[in-house]
Structure 1
Amino acid sequence: MRMSEFWRLMDDEFGASYSRMLARTHMIHALGDLTVDEALEARHKPREVWLAMCADMGVPPERLLGKDVPVRENPKEL
């Protein structure tokens, strides 16, 4: 998982402003009581941080991959 994907998932699930606040303040016990920002800075993999955050915040399994984004049709093919 790339960092851009990690932040898209955070923003989709928690909202852009709240996700940044959570990243600075929410301590994830499974990662040694590090915040999201601290865990990423300590080189934890973004996927590991995302899954730990989801477990902490009770994100249901069907939303672990984020929102369904509709496939854009290529207008040239129509």
Structure 2
Amino acid sequence: MRITVFRRLMADEFGPARAETLSKDHQFSGLGGRTVEQALAAGVPAKEIWQEVCVAFEIPAERR
């Protein structure tokens, strides 16, 4: 998954402003306590990050 696709999915799910805030501030245990931005900078694949976001926020399967 491309990062641009990931960012679009985040914005579609949470709205642009909240998606940006979540990406910078929310630490995900499934990402080793990192934020989305930290995980992307560390080279974690965007698809893996999206899956963790979906689990953490209980996003229904049809929107994953």
* TM-score normalized by the length of structure 1: 0.80
Question: In 1, Cα distance between the equivalents of 2:60 and 2:25?
Answer: 22
Runs of 4+ in structure 1 deviating by more than 6 angstroms, as ranges, are none
Counterpart amino acid of residue 37 in structure 2: D
Corresponding residue pairs, total: 64
Question: In 2, Cα distance between the equivalents of 1:25 and 1:12?
Answer: 18
Alignment correspondent of 1:5: 5
* TM-score normalized by the length of structure 2: 0.97
Give the structure with the larger strand fraction. 1
Deviations 1:45-68 (A, max 9, x none): 00000000110011111111xxxx
Deviation at 1:31, TM superposition (A): 1.0
Counterpart amino acid of residue 24 in structure 1: K
Unaligned segments of structure 2, at least 5 residues: none
Alignment correspondent of 1:43: 43
CA RMSD of aligned residues (A): 0.5
Alignment correspondent of 1:22: 22
**Which is greater in Rg?**
1
Unaligned segments of structure 1, at least 5 residues: 65-78
Alignment correspondent of 1:57: 57
